[in-house]
Amino acid sequence: MSHERGDKEDLIELEQLLAGPHKILYEGTSKYQNVLVLESPNIQMYLNNQMQFNSMDERMYHEAFVHPAMSLAPKRDRVLCIGSNDGLLLREVFKYADVKQVDLVGISVRLLNAIKKMPEMNTLNERALFDKRLSVFKDEIHTYLASASEKYDVILVDFPDPVNEQIGNLYSLQVFNGLFSLLSEDGILVCQSLSPKKVPLLFWSIARTLERAGFKTLGYHLTVPSFGDWGFHLAGKKTVVWPNKSIAVPHRTLPPDISAWFQFPTNVLSVRKSARVNTSDNPNLHKLYSPLLPAPTANLIALSDLQDYDNSHSSENGSSDTEDLIELQQLLSGPHRILEQGSFDGNQVFIIQSKDVRMYLDKQLQFSSLDERIYHEALVHPAMTLIPKRERILIVGGGDGFAVREVLKYTDVRNVDLVDLDPLVLKVAKSVKKVASLNEHSLSDARVTIYQMDAREFLSEQRDLYDAIIVDFPDPADEVVSSLYTAEFFRIMFQQLTPNGILVCQSHSPESAPSVYWSIGKTLKSIGLNTLSYHVTVPSFGDWGFHLAANESLEWGDRKISVQTETIPVKLDSWFHFTKKIRSVRRNAKANRMSNKNLHKTYRKEVGVILTSARRE
């Protein structure tokens, strides 16, 4: 699987992993691509079932949060930090030698003391919670604002997401009025403001509320892999302008020039005029948060390992996150250490350490062991459930063996042919112990036959028919790979299916690249096939889509997956639903043909990444 992030986010994340504790499991080069497999420790913290940070990319978030504000402030003597129990924001603040005092407010002292006792967290936050310049106040923010009087040069506001009215009121005009009175005349405030891409009205409503309190604001945003596009607002009593200056202190993830962070697409900017002020008398921010709320957690497999977790608590305050729970399930099903678990001041906290195995192809993330099952279970099981018989299966691409692992769960499967062009990927999947363990040694199963060759060449020689064909090609980033997604090649594949057979094709992101996604679907339809489209969120890659195709009409109905899975909910209804915005792109999608190969051009336009290296098939 490839993805829309084949760009600086992967490179930055890889640099972070290589800068910290890690073990290179395999490194090599084939004539097709460079292959790197590494293992590194991973720490994640969940608050009320929502992931608060992932050590793989937390520096992207925290460095982006802290350093623009600290760089703009003419003085940094006194800093106020609201929230942030983990010390990761403080780690960045204490990089500035001229900081004399930092006040930490609105946190759980019990949780902070628990984190101070964890060697793993002290390593991650570089012992920021022990810095002598830090003063901790257990007061709730409203109480603190009512009594505080000294001015601050920088204020960092890291409120939780406004999942309910109580938390939404933290972003109220009344709170921002109090913060305005505490900020020095030349001071800078920064507030985390969620995703301008996913909830633009919420993002701009925070800005509007800050402005009503008297602040001048400047918004910015960036991509954090664990959370997607994420935004912040800088605010001051004077006009805030980014002077295109570089960050002066050491950091790992910031580009030399962050000016692109301050630019927003037209569709995001157009929402700004509709933003509303959030007041305690007329709270509305939590209502705007609803687009980020996932499907109900009732469809999930029970989290039996979370013995002390009160799932009803998260349901009542609306903070439950299906994808976070699914990922947490995967972590708990593998090797892990629970660093902390319990209730702190009414909040359920869970901190877990695990090991993440990752494969990079040409420095692009191919899979992460933290969530690869979400992708591969979604790729395989709908098709395997819909076909009437499952004796012979063909997988094109998928040399890592994960799709094969899922197919082999069906006892009636007699033969699996795996076709992948790159011998190095096949070698890694079969010979590197950690990877082979993850794919459960699927490539060594007696039912599996491996063909290291071009899929077009293989199909031109093949005569036997298959009950299902699973297409796990790379993204159509260039003309060569685009030819694999043409009507002509899909027709060749369908000629190798039994009359009741089904093809499933990974089809990129309907959220990030909807024209690419629907073009693949339209290409399948152009050769007379019926399609059923679906999508799922894979944390490492974002929203990801697939198309099922068959001669007969396809409907999921109330079918159930018959084999054991770790990440698939009992009901898949939400997988087959798309937002109106995503559906609206479908009508303008174009079929991709050999006479008019346009998919790679659409890909480059939507994804904004041009891949020049050879890609595997």
Higher pLDDT, 323 or 557: 557
Whether the pLDDT of residue 544 is over 90: the answer is yes
Identify the band that residue 305 occupies on the pLDDT scale cut at 50, 70 and 90: very low
Residue of 65, 144, 52 whose CA lies nearest to 103: 144
- The answer to whether 136 and 107 are in contact (CB under 8 A) is yes
The phi and psi torsions of 74 (rounded to 5 degrees) equal -70, -25
How sure is the predictor about 307, in pLDDT bands with cuts at 50, 70 and 90?
very low
Q: Which residues lie closer than 8 Å to 80 by C-beta, 6 or more apart? A: 102, 103, 105, 152, 154, 155, 156, 182
State the pLDDT at residue 309: 36
Identify which of 31-40, 194-203, 223-232 has the greatest average pLDDT: 194-203
Which secondary-structure segment (H or E) carries 81?
strand 78-82
- Domains of the chain, CATH where assigned: 8-43+295-357 (no CATH), 57-292 (3.40.50.150), 371-607 (3.40.50.150)
Q: How far is residue 103 from each of residues 84, 175, 204, 591, measured CA to CA in Å?
A: 12, 17, 28, 58
**Residue 174: band (very low, low, confident or very high) from pLDDT cuts 50, 70, 90:** very high
Q: How confident is the model at residue 15 (pLDDT cuts 50, 70, 90)?
A: confident
User: What distance in Å separates the CA atoms of residue 230 and residue 84, rounded to the nearest whole number?
Assistant: 17
Structure tokens at 20: 């910290």
Q: Which amino acid is at 73?
A: A
In this structure, are strands 392-397 and 466-472 parallel, antiparallel, or unpaired? parallel
User: Per the annotation, where are the binding residues for S-methyl-5'-thioadenosine?
Assistant: 33, 347, 420, 454-455
- Whole-angstrom distance between the N-terminal and C-terminal Cα of the chain? 11
Active-site residue (options: 472, 475, 478, 543): 472
* CA dihedral sign, ordered 321, 326, 331, 332: positive
Confidence of residue 176 (pLDDT cuts 50, 70, 90): very high
Q: How many residues does the chain have?
A: 617
What's the Cα-to-Cα distance from 169 to each of 207, 239, 279, 287, rounded to whole Å? Answer: 15, 26, 7, 12
Is 558 catalytic? The answer is no
Q: What is the pLDDT of residues 453-493, one digit of tens each?
A: 999 999 998 889 999 999 999 899 889 999 999 999 999 99
Q: Which two tokens stand for residue 477?
A: 């980033």
Res 373: pLDDT? 93
Rounded mean pLDDT, 243-250: 91
pLDDT at residue 23 above 70? Answer: yes
- Cα(147)–Cα(124) distance, rounded to whole angstroms? 33
Tell me the HSE value of 404 on the side-chain side, using a 13 A CA sphere.
Answer: 31
What residue numbers does the annotated binding site cover? Answer: 33, 62, 86, 347, 376, 400, 420, 454-455
pLDDT greater than 90 at residue 312:
no
Q: What's the CA angle centered on 14, arms 9 and 19, to 5 degrees?
A: 130
Q: Report how far residue 476's alpha carbon sits from residue 491's, in angstroms, rounded to the nearest whole number.
A: 18
Mean pLDDT value of segment 283-288: 90
Query: What is the model's pTM?
Result: 0.80
Of 184-188, 337-341, 345-349, the poorest mean pLDDT is in: 345-349
* Span 603-607, average pLDDT: 87
β-strands 78-82, 152-157: how paired?
A: parallel
Among 10, 57, 103, 158, the active-site one is 158
| pLDDT in the model for residue 8 | 66
Name the percent of the chain lying above pLDDT 70.
Answer: 91
Is 308 a known active-site residue? Answer: no
* Residue list, annotated binding site for spermidine: 62, 86, 376, 400
Torsion angle of the four alpha carbons 254, 259, 226, 216, in this order, in degrees rounded to the nearest 10: 110
- For residue 505, pLDDT beyond 80: yes
Residue 465: exposure state from Cβ atoms within 10 A (0-12, 13-18, ≥19): middle
CA distance 138 to 152: 18
| Residues 364-390 pLDDT 10s | 889 999 889 999 999 999 999 999 999
2 band by pLDDT with thresholds 50, 70 and 90: very low
3-class state of residue 244 by DSSP: coil
